[in-house]
């Protein structure tokens, strides 16, 4: 069976995790990587994360023994000749080019489909979350998004709960590891709080996940709100989710049973932690959400608070799941 050929723009954390996940099996090959960084430095950063896997730099190619990847030193969508590499899909992992016009540039340069690793800033063909709305994907979708780590974790938890219990309202706080778009020292940024050091402070921030989950799960429209706290932790993030159920009898035992069932049905997407874990325990987690069973408590008559952990590695794997699903739709249509 032919491997699915992908291109990656942006070889930061998500880009490197995509490469690593693609190299672990026989479903994918990374045909080309586009990044403004030097190939030798990018290879060095990748090799630090691969651990037991080996990958060598051969001129302008990464070679892991299973496939060779052309390294291109550019970071603009309109500059990459994707048609020369025969890619089935391009993942824009820069988190910078999130508008339709940017995605169109990838398509104009020969990509069959382009997938964002972060949420879009304007209308695209579809936002697809495995375990939530994957069945809505259409073969003619060209501009897609696999959500974000926070969006996927939130959507999965709310889908599992709302399938079984009626939800009146829900509010989440994402306690998020700092990212590369935050400065290490205080530095003038887009607003007052984001101008403070991400390595030294807990920084309140906005979060787009609730509004996107309302679109993906329309039965929850007008019922969700959310916030983010960027914290000085390098890896490992958490959702603090508060749910008001219409039925006052819903409690932690019911929540635990519902999510246990989901973990059995969707083991690649949902996990359950039964011991008291912390953020460093979820590093390298490949699932989209790891439900913290000891952290669930009931407050008052109808409010239940629960915790869910997630990591960038899980999000990278879901991006590849979405691309693989579209490849199957293409193959079915061609047949």
Which pLDDT belongs to residue 198? 87
Q: For the segment 169-186, what is each residue's pLDDT rounded down to a tens digit? A: 999 999 999 887 788 898
Express as a percent the part of the chain with pLDDT over 70.
100
CA distance 310 to 286: 9
Q: What was the pLDDT predicted at 330?
A: 94
> pLDDT per residue over 316-327, tens digit each?
999 999 999 999
pLDDT tens-digit series, residues 31-79: 999 999 999 999 999 998 887 678 999 999 999 999 999 999 998 999 9
Is the separation of the CB atoms in 112 and 31 below 8 Å? no
Give me the pLDDT at residue 335, please: 75
Contacts from 101-107 at CB under 8 Å and sequence distance 24+? 102/77, 103/77, 103/143, 104/143, 105/76, 105/77, 105/78, 106/9, 106/77, 106/80, 106/82, 107/142, 107/143
pLDDT at residue 182, rounded to an integer: 82
Parallel/antiparallel/unpaired status of strands 289-299 and 303-310: antiparallel
Greater confidence (238 vs 2) lies with 238
Alpha-carbon distances of 43 from 11, 30, 40, rounded to whole Å: 10, 14, 5
Task: Give the span between the Cα atoms of 31 and 8, in whole angstroms.
Answer: 8
> Is the pLDDT higher at 149 or at 190?
149
Query: What three-state secondary structure class fits 41?
Result: helix
Can you tell me the distance from the alpha carbon of 13 to that of 149, in angstroms, rounded to the nearest whole number? 13
Looking at residues 251-267, what average pLDDT do you find? 98
Domains present along the chain, CATH in parentheses: 4-124 (3.40.50.720), 149-311 (3.30.360.10)
14: pLDDT strictly greater than 80 = yes
- Per-residue pLDDT at 334 exceeds 90: no
Separation in Å, CA 202 to CA 18, 182, 194, 331: 29, 12, 10, 47
Helices and strands in the chain: count of H runs, count of E runs: 7, 16
- Mean pLDDT of the 152-162 span: 98
Report field, pTM of the whole predicted structure over 0.85: yes
Element (H, E) at 210: helix 209-216
- Lowest mean pLDDT across 13-22, 75-84, 187-196, 225-234: 187-196
pLDDT at 6: 98
Query: What is residue 181's predicted lDDT score, i.e. its pLDDT?
Result: 78
Which regions of 178-333 does DSSP assign to beta strands (E)?
Answer: 203-205, 224-231, 237-245, 270-273, 289-299, 303-310
């Amino acid at each position: 069976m032919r491997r699915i050929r992908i291109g990656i723009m942006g070889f930061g954390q998500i880009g490197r995790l995509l490469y690593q996940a693609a190299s672990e099996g026989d479903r994918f090959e990374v045909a080309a990587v586009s990044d403004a960084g030097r190939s030798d430095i990018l290879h060095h950063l990748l090799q630090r994360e691969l651990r037991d896997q080996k990958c060598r730099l051969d001129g302008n190619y990464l070679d892991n023994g299973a496939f060779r990847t052309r390294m291109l030193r550019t970071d603009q969508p309109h500059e990459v000749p994707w048609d020369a590499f025969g890619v089935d899909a391009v993942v824009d992992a820069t988190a910078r080019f999130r508008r339709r016009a940017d995605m169109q540039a990838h398509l104009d340069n020969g990509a069959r489909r382009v997938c964002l690793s972060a949420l879009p800033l304007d209308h695209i063909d579809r936002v697809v979350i495995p375990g939530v709305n994957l069945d809505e994907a259409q073969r003619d979708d060209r501009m897609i998004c696999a959500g974000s780590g926070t969006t996927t974790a939130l959507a999965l938890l709310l889908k599992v709960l709302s399938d079984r219990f009626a939800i009146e309202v829900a509010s989440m706080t994402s306690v998020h590891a700092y990212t590369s778009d935050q400065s290490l020292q205080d530095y003038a940024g887009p607003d007052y709080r984001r101008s403070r050091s991400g390595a030294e402070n807990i920084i309140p921030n906005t979060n787009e996940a609730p509004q996107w989950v309302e679109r993906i799960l329309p039965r929850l429209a007008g019922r969700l709100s959310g916030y983010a706290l960027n914290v000085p932790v390098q890896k490992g993030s958490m959702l603090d989710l508060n749910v008001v159920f219409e039925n006052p009898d819903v409690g932690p035992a019911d929540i635990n049973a519902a999510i246990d069932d989901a973990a059995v049905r969707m083991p690649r997407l949902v996990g359950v932690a039964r011991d008291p874990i912390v953020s460093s325990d979820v590093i390298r987690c490949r699932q989209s959400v790891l439900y913290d069973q000891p952290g669930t408590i009931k407050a008052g008559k109808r409010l239940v608070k629960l915790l869910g952990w997630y990591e960038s590695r899980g999000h990278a794997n879901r991006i590849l799941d979405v691309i693989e699903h579209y490849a199957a739709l293409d193959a079915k249509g061609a047949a």
